[in-house]
Structure 1
Amino acid sequence: MIESSIFSEILVAQASQKGINVCPMKLQKLAYYCHGYYLSVTGEPLVAGEFEAWPYGPVHPDIYQQYKHYGNSVIAAPANWQMPPQISETIVGIINFVLDEFGRLGAWTLSQKTHRESPWLAHFDRDTQRVDGLGISEPSLKYHFAGELVNVQDAELAMLMDSAEEENVVSMPTSISSAEDFSNWIDEIEV
């Protein structure tokens, strides 16, 4: 687990290296996605502390305090920055995945995206149109982001299948009507 101040600095620096501008609200959402994906992959939290359900989406209070003075402005990347040696390849991989997937989206788009996801929605009262501001539980994050990983894998598999050249695709004969027919057909295929 990484202290929030160190993690947020890493995220800002990595975003800057990819040419992605980050304001405080966008940083919150990107940090939230990194934390959620890391939790679903490793079973361990990435950032110390917890994210809370605020009106504009998930917010880590410590990161908020660290960067609130930027307002809506772009956060300056740290000068002469280098990745801390204790940061694993898994953490760097998750950060790069999140930046590649969501880094080009704006802060408001990311905020709206989180409003459609179960971890934040669990804290939203549809009748009053208010959010409770409480901590978002690790089990709800883990469950949600595990599902997101499955969706990403399914989408990548679908793209691979769509891009397969027609001559490399094997079609099942229409005459197959049972498991036994299918098994016999598989046995006859030469590889």
Structure 2
Amino acid sequence: MISANQVADFFLAFAKEHGDYISQLKLQKMVYYADAWFLVNNGKALINEDFEAWVHGPVVRSLYHRFKEYRSNPILEDVNFPELDGTHTEHLIDIYDVFGKFSGYQLEQMTHDEQPWIEARGSCAPDEACENIIDKETTLKFYTKVAEEV
């Protein structure tokens, strides 16, 4: 496993290298999808941190605190590519190729339509703060089903 910070650093460095910038909203969802699809494709989680079912979609709390000063603005932190093995690097490039074209808002809406976030939110009102953990087993089952339908 690698850390959520390593995944975030990869996406930020990759985006900058390609003339793009990422907001915290988009970054959180990119890390979420990277973890979800690694779980489906490899049978194990990419990161050891949990995602919480916040109002605007899945969030890793430690990443939120790291980048909260940027609010909805692009994250301009100068980061380098982390040391990752080929499997992780290839996976993250694939995730960026698929999900990087969407805005943070579009990615938020996608997660709001998917079972892992919906189930974790439970009876929380749409605008209610929620710290419920998104279950990785639910994530695995849901995205495995999505993959089978493609």
* Common topology (TM > 0.5): yes
Q: CA deviation at 1:16?
A: 2.2
Q: Which amino acid aligns with 2:91?
A: I
Distance across 1 between alignment mates of 2:133 and 2:114: 15
Whether 1:13 aligns to 2:17 is no
State the identity as a percent. Answer: 25
Matched residue, 2:87: 90
Whether 1:53 aligns to 2:56 is no
Asked if structure 2 preserves the Cα contact closer than 8 Å seen for 1:123 and 1:131, the reply is: no
Matched residue, 2:69: 69
Distance across 2 between alignment mates of 1:125 and 1:138: 16
Whether 1:112 aligns to 2:109 is yes
- Evaluate the alpha carbon distance shift between residue 143 and residue 69 of structure 1 in structure 2; reply closer, same or farther with a 3 A threshold: same
Asked if structure 2 preserves the Cα contact closer than 8 Å seen for 1:57 and 1:114, the reply is: yes
What is the Cα-based RMSD across aligned positions, in Å?
2.0
Q: Which has the larger radius of gyration?
A: 1
Asked if structure 1 preserves the Cα contact closer than 8 Å seen for 2:124 and 2:130, the reply is: no
- Evaluate the alpha carbon distance shift between residue 34 and residue 127 of structure 1 in structure 2; reply closer, same or farther with a 3 A threshold: closer
For structure 1, list consecutive stretches of 5 or more residues without a partner in the other structure. Answer: 155-191
Distance across 2 between alignment mates of 1:78 and 1:127: 37
Distance across 1 between alignment mates of 2:143 and 2:77: 28
Distance across 1 between alignment mates of 2:81 and 2:9: 10
Asked if structure 1 preserves the Cα contact closer than 8 Å seen for 2:8 and 2:31, the reply is: yes
SS at match of 1:122: helix
Distance across 2 between alignment mates of 1:127 and 1:23: 25
Asked if structure 1 preserves the Cα contact closer than 8 Å seen for 2:120 and 2:135, the reply is: no
Query: C-alpha offsets along residues 21-62 of structure 1, whole Å, 9 cap, x if unaligned?
Result: 201111000000001001111111112210010100000101
- Higher relative CO (Cα under 8 Å, sequence separation at least 6) belongs to 2
Q: Which amino acid aligns with 2:15?
A: A
Report how many aligned residue pairs link the two structures: 149
**TM superposition score normalised by structure 2:** 0.88
Whether 1:101 aligns to 2:98 is yes
Asked if structure 1 preserves the Cα contact closer than 8 Å seen for 2:2 and 2:46, the reply is: yes
Asked if structure 1 preserves the Cα contact closer than 8 Å seen for 2:57 and 2:111, the reply is: yes
Q: Which contiguous aligned blocks of 4+ residues in structure 1 show a shift greater than 3 angstroms? A: 124-132
Distance across 2 between alignment mates of 1:127 and 1:66: 26
Asked if structure 2 preserves the Cα contact closer than 8 Å seen for 1:52 and 1:135, the reply is: yes
Asked if structure 2 preserves the Cα contact closer than 8 Å seen for 1:20 and 1:103, the reply is: no
Whether 1:142 aligns to 2:140 is yes
- Evaluate the alpha carbon distance shift between residue 95 and residue 148 of structure 1 in structure 2; reply closer, same or farther with a 3 A threshold: farther
